[in-house]
Amino acid sequence: MSEAVLVLEDGRTYRGERFGATGATVGEIVFNTGMTGYQETLTDPSYHRQIVVMTAPHIGNTGLNDEDPESTRIWVAGYVVRDPAVRPSSWRSRRSLDEGLVAEGIVGIAGVDTRAITRHLREQGVMRAGIFSGEALVDASGRARPLEDLRDQVRQAPPMAGADLAGQVSVGERYTVEPGPGTVPAGAAALTVVAVDLGIKSMTPQRLAERGVRTHVVPASVEVQDILDLRPDGVFFSNGPGDPAAATHEVDLLRGVLDRRIPFFGICYGNQILGRALGLGTYKLTYGHRGVNQPVMDRRTGKVEITAHNHGFAVDAPLTGDTVAPHDDGRYGRVRVSHVDLNDDVVEGLECLDLPAFSVQYHPEAAAGPHDAAYLFDRFVDLMTRTEAGDAAAH
């Protein structure tokens, strides 16, 4: 293996071995605490422009397969692991993790102390970083580049704060996922959802299809009239990368949905967009929540769920009581925090009390798990069904 160097913007440096493609990459460095599901992590568009450190020490043991990707490509900017598997061991594997990273040009590093890196990020907060290997470690004359040069290159990378990235990961054209076989009762019409792709994972429309829902996945650039033309029973905003404070189009789009009282469900980035549409603030977390083992309480039921997360921003809302949504002198009525993270009291869900709208900050589709939050899709279907029945009764 050839040498690779991980350089953080504060000057902290870790030396290891090339893993994946050879070259240079820069981005925001974050850590993921999941012990499984590395393929789903790699292909989650929410990781666009981020270098991911895996805290689990042994990564790659099941290789990569053709069934589990959450999108059509690997999105992480770089990959950091401690002890990669020498060879994959799974009947479903089609290639090794290293081969998959090389094929898609993802620069990585192995053989570094990921525990030390994680502790540093927990203390100092996420920051920009770069991984360098091969020719990226030498200058034009063939001499080793000084670490100060590598650090300066890292510091030239754009920060995540202020980044509007959903349009870079969104689908270019609309596509439709039909309900699963036998999921729609005989003689009944399938519910229709318009899912705005801000970085959607493929399992999300699949979870809706399992519940008899037809899902039209549309680009982030869609206008409200395009949504109305599809005559949806509900609208869904997906997960995605970037700073919600920069998502002015998506916020305006959602306000158009809320004004028409169309049932709404948002996850992750969609939760932050709902918060901003209601007039609430958002802020950047020190090191974020990323992994499949985050404890969240559903305040409606008191149940604690182990959930999958990937977010570096959060909604700023009062944790207790009902609040009148600040936007436009409270035209959207009351809102409450429905879910809260038990590790740090971060807002993990919003529920509108005078509109058919709710959201959560985590991933109920949860590939590769856990599945504690799958009931939220049932809650969305129930909201659409009740709203549809109420509209029929009103007429």
Active site members: 268, 363, 365
Is 312 annotated among the ligand-binding residues?
yes
Q: Longest C-alpha distance within the chain, in Å? A: 79
Specify burial of residue 9 (Cβ count, 10 A radius: 0-12, 13-18, 19+): buried
242 assigned binding-site residue: yes
* CA gap 302, 286 in Å, rounded: 27
Q: Check if the beta carbon of residue 283 is closer than 8 Å to that of residue 264.
A: no
Relative to beta strand 175-177, strand 78-80 is unpaired
**CB-neighbour burial class of residue 14 (10 A; exposed 0-12, middle 13-18, buried 19+):** buried
- Strand ranges (DSSP E) for the chain? 3-8, 13-20, 24-32, 50-54, 58-59, 78-80, 83-84, 107-110, 127-133, 175-177, 191-196, 213-218, 234-237, 264-267, 281-298, 304-316, 323-324, 334-341, 347-352, 357-360
Distance set, CA 19 to CA 66, 78, 108, 131, 150 (Å): 21, 10, 5, 10, 18
240 assigned ligand-binding residue: yes
Q: Is 46 annotated as contributing to ligand binding?
A: yes
Taking the C-alpha atoms of residue 14 and residue 178, their distance in angstroms, rounded to an integer, is 48
How far apart CA 281 and CA 328 sit, in angstroms, is 14
CB within 8 A of 105, min separation 6: which ones?
21, 23
Asked if 323 and 335 touch (Cβ cutoff 8 Å), the reply is: yes
Rounded CA-CA distance 348/341 in Å is: 6
DSSP for 20-62 reads EB-SEEEEEEEEE--SS-HHHHHT-GGGBTEEEEE-SSEE-TT
Residue of 249, 242, 245 whose CA lies nearest to 281? 245
The CA-atom distances, in angstroms, between 292 and each of 13, 350, 392 are: 28, 21, 41
141 marked as part of a ligand binding site: no
Q: Output phi, psi for 22, to 5 deg.
A: -95, 140
Residue labelled with tokens 């994946």: 20
CA count, 13 A, side-chain hemisphere, 328: 10
- Binding site per annotation, positions for L-glutamine: 46, 240, 242, 272, 310, 312-313
- Binding site per annotation, positions: 46, 240, 242, 272, 310, 312-313
